[in-house]
Amino acid sequence: MSELLLSTSRRGLRGILRVIRSLAVLAVIGIVVAGIATTVVVLRSGVDELVTPSTPLVVNDVTKLNPVRVAELITPHSLDEIQQALASTQGRVSIGGGRYSQGGQTAYPDSLHIDMRQFNKVLALDTEAKQVTVQPGITWRQLQSEIDPHNLSIKIMQTYANFTVGGSLSVNVHGRYIGEGPVVGSVLALKLVLADGSLIQASANENADIFYGAIGGYGGLGVIVEASLQLEDNLPVERRVRTMPITDYATYFRNTIRDNRDVVFHNADIYPPNFTAMRDVSWYASDKPVTEANRLIPEGQSYKLEVAIEKFVAGSDFGKWSRQYVIDPLLYYPSKVVWRNYEASYDVAELEPKDRSEYTYGLREYFVPVERFDEFVPKMRDIFQRNQANIINVSVRHAKADPHTLLSWARSEVFAFVVYYRQGTDTEAKQAVKTWSGEMIDAVAEVGGAYYLPYQLQASKTQFAAAYPRSQAYFALKNRLDPNNRFVNLLWAKYYPLNNDLLAHTRADIDNYYRPVEQTLLTIPEWYLVFQPKEYADYLRDGGDPSRFPFLASIDEYWTLYDRVTALSAENYPANTEYRTMLRVIGISTTLEYLVKGAYEASLGRLSRWLAGGHDTPEDVLIQQAHRAYSDLIFNEPWYEFDFSGWRDRIWTETPLWGEHFFRKWERKLFFSAEFGVKSLYAKLIKYAAQSSYGETDKRIYLTAQRVHSNSIRLAKEPDGAEIVATGGDDYIMSVPRWGGFTEIMPKFLKTEWSISDISGNHQIAVSLLAGQDADVSKLKAQALFRSRVVSDDSQQRVIMMAGVADLSQLILDIERQGFELEHIFDY
């Protein structure tokens, strides 16, 4: 009997060893196949056929650095529409045109946004008096097309013609025009719609305070709905170019350019990175035949060469050297005579890169009294070189004094230093630009100058007040015309005293209060690696055969989600390269894991299941429990905190070594041990790397909330799990759990007597819900972005939506009322 038992056990051990060898061979084959398949899957990333949905309520600017979600957006075509929109509402209002300001000057969170670009007609043209009246949504290029047949030209405008007239008046632009100053010098009259919907006319002689407040007032007083402008004659101009040391320029300009009435356009480029040489590019009135037949630069041209050269120049010091000594000499070598309108009709497309997700281009501008040019230049050079700023060009222009506008940037005759630069879109790059920009503002203040307001809002309130000493008069006028402070954008949210945020400094002092808004989208594929284990655990709980779970479909779904959110993010937000890299890394590792697991389950796993007659062994039951425990944990903790080794040991200590379905038992033991053993080692490695790089994981996220006033005497109490961090006025800063805890607490939070104004400094957030295949979600107060498969259940879909933070309460209630399941709210 003992010999029989010994013989049987030896045969059993030999069988186990054969199974182990077979598993080892299969694992090697699986890894090779998985490696090849992983490469194929990763290469296909980015080719998803999704048509990226537009996000109409997100207002951004040309830099793509300042996405702002507004509550409502209208595109009026008539004056009545504008007046009605203001008279019938009471909330905040923001106004936008071409969106070429670069710091949120055209938008405010949860405001009514008036997009003026369709309000763009020429209302009157007097060719004898050389005057035109227009609606403000018209671009300078559209206006040029109207007046050029009459041989008339715009008197003052920017270099580029894509901007709207209303936007240009709101920032009080200037150009390259010699003998002129800001655009206010060409404006005859304005009409504005005020906060109550009333219409008012203003000029230098009528309501002069409003006239000089609205021009350069950045939309803070009302909506400019009509502008009358003085024009000039169109005429041929000849280009003349001269290079010189920067130390010669001030004297050269004073003696040669300033009082020369033949000079129409003038700018002088300072060459980085040395900032010691300049090139004067001036255009003189001429009676020579034009060398360019077109009277205006044709619209819709391709600028691939110009964009490529810009990228090359920005890419290195060699590129900048090449521009100074090769590219520009060739560019300016031929003689050129063109119409004034041609030279004034440049298209910003020649500056627009193919993609602004990983880096972007921006402007800064500093106004220096002409007599202090030589004093300012060394300060500028030192700041740029010391900070290693990637400056592409500094263009010097001239402007006469503007003594009248309340927010005048030219209180005396000035040189304008227009700084064009490239920067990354990540947090570190933004901080670097903020550093040198602040130093430049201090430097220009030291010489009695000013900085320009249409760019990034990085100046302190003290710097703003020093550069714009009449701002208090502007604020007093705004308070009189707009007592309820309806006209707001990010500029006035920062500098208008009545918008003072009592908790601003507290938020700035809280580590990780502010999180990038694009991460609400980029976390979606990451969260799929939480949803999918739950889906797998549910599948096993419901009696599903693990060898038939759609692992390959899960891989495809991850990369489809990655494609979709990166496309959406690139359309509206900075790239967040670090986060995207992390998504690719975890995507590749998950792809490899699922390919190996899927190949194994489809072969030996299916065989052992068949031999067991489809019955579960004790090992199957414990594996189901392990996957349920894992799926529960990762909703609230990092995945590497799971006790993989403990569960691996349990399959040996809590299930018998012998019993029915012997092959299935041992196949499950060995495969589960191998899987969780590898994951245990990998988890320890990732945990060590994560804690070494980032320290302990922050498990809280911050928001700002207000108590909702009601008839209840009881004061609203924060939900369990939320903690009040600070209070200021009506605002409360709170911390709440992240991850799964965030989704759990928000419905409770929003059903109490609280409203939330921002989460992590953001005003929009992604939400997913589970619904039937043909579910109609159009009535929900959110924008449906796309739908996603539930790979193990064809009857359900995951719907990804973008909601306003202010609308989140209503959205959660409506999801419940319509019988959908709120799956997740994607924190940042």
At 458-509, the pLDDT tens digits run 999 999 999 999 999 999 999 999 999 999 999 999 999 988 787 888 998 8
CATH 3.30.70.2520 fits 236-462, yes or no: yes
Q: How many C-beta neighbours within 10 Å does residue 14 have? A: 10
Phi, psi dihedral angles at 760 (to 5 degrees): 55, 30
* Alpha helices (H) along 573-701: 577-600, 606-611, 618-633, 644-653, 662-694
CATH number attached to the domain at 59-233: 3.30.465.10
**42 pLDDT more than 90:** no
DSSP state of 719: P
The whole-chain average pLDDT of the chain stands at 91
Strands 152-154 and 223-233: antiparallel
- Sorting pLDDT into bands at 50, 70 and 90, what band is 718? confident
Same topology for domains 59-233 and 236-462, yes or no? no
- Least confidently predicted of 98-107, 715-724, 777-786: 715-724
pLDDT tens readout for residues 304-314: 999 999 999 99
Write the DSSP string, 798-822.
Answer: EEEEEEEGGGHHHHHHHHHHTT-EE
Rounded mean pLDDT of 172-201?
97
- Please count the CA atoms within 13 angstroms of the CA of 356 that sit on its side-chain side: 19
Task: Give the pLDDT of residue 46.
Answer: 43
DSSP state of 100: -
pLDDT reported for residue 27: 47
The amino acid sitting at 743 is T
Contacts of 540 by beta carbon, 8 Å cutoff, 6+ apart: 546, 623, 624, 627, 628
What is the average pLDDT across 26-45? 48
Asked whether the beta carbons of 266 and 178 are under 8 A apart, the reply is yes
pLDDT at 709 exceeding the cut of 70 = no
Q: What is the dihedral of CA 265, 270, 272, 274, to 10 degrees?
A: 170
Which pLDDT band, with edges at 50, 70 and 90, does 748 fall under?
Answer: confident
- Between residues 415 and 19, which one has the greater pLDDT? 415
Of 720, 710, 607, 718, nearest in space to 667 by CA: 607
Percentage of the chain exceeding pLDDT 70: 92
C-alpha to C-alpha distances, 540 to 545, 548, 620, 626, 669, nearest whole angstrom: 7, 11, 9, 11, 17
pLDDT surpasses 50 at 346? yes
Mean pLDDT of 765-791: 92
The 10s digit of each residue's pLDDT in 380-430 is 999 999 999 999 999 999 999 999 999 999 999 999 999 999 999 888 899
> What's the pLDDT score for residue 412?
97
The angle, 0 to 180 degrees and rounded to 10, between the axes of the packed helices 618-633 and 662-694 is: 20
Is residue 84 very low, low, confident or very high in pLDDT (cuts 50, 70, 90)? very high
What is the pLDDT confidence band of residue 686, given thresholds at 50, 70 and 90?
A: confident
Q: Where do we find the tokens 């990540």? A: 426
Give the pLDDT score at 54.
63
Percent of the chain scoring above 90 in pLDDT: 80
Tokens 């369709």 appear where? 118
**Is the separation of the CB atoms in 437 and 84 below 8 Å?**
no
Residue 260, pLDDT score: 97
When mean pLDDT is compared across 38-42, 436-440, 700-704, the lowest value belongs to 38-42
- Look at phi and psi of residue 110 and say left if phi exceeds 0, alpha if psi is from -120 to 50, else beta: left
Say what the pLDDT of residue 693 is.
67
Where along the chain do its domains lie?
Answer: 2-51+517-694, 59-233, 236-462, 697-826
pLDDT reading at 713 higher than 70: no
pLDDT per residue as tens digits for the range 431-463: 999 999 999 999 999 999 999 999 999 999 999
Radius of gyration of the chain (CA): 33
**Does residue 728 have a pLDDT over 90?**
no
Average pLDDT over residues 768-797: 92
Euclidean distance between CA atoms 160 and 305, whole angstroms: 18
Q: Which amino acid is at 728?
A: G
Question: Looking at residues 158-169, what average pLDDT do you find?
Answer: 97
AA letter at 438 = G
Which residue(s) pair with 450 in the sheet? 367
The residue written with tokens 């800001």 in the block is: 182
As a whole number of angstroms, the distance between CA 721 and CA 742 comes to 10
**Mean pLDDT within 181-199:** 97
Contacts of 248 (CB under 8 A, 6+ apart): none
Q: How far apart are CA 826 and CA 65, in angstroms?
A: 21
Assess whether pLDDT exceeds 50 at residue 145.
Answer: yes
* 15-29, 559-573, 657-671 — most confident range: 657-671
Q: Specify the DSSP element, H or E, that contains 336.
A: none
If residue 378 lies in a helix (H) or strand (E), which one and from where to where?
helix 373-386
Contact 596, 88 (CB under 8 A): no
Question: Rounded to two decimals, what is the model's pTM?
Answer: 0.83
Least confident stretch, 6-15, 88-97, 274-283: 6-15
- The pairs formed by 708-711 with CB atoms below 8 angstroms and a separation of 24 or more are 708/753, 708/754, 708/755, 710/753
Mean pLDDT of 72-80: 96
Instruction: Quickly state the pLDDT bin for 575 (edges 50, 70, 90).
Output: confident
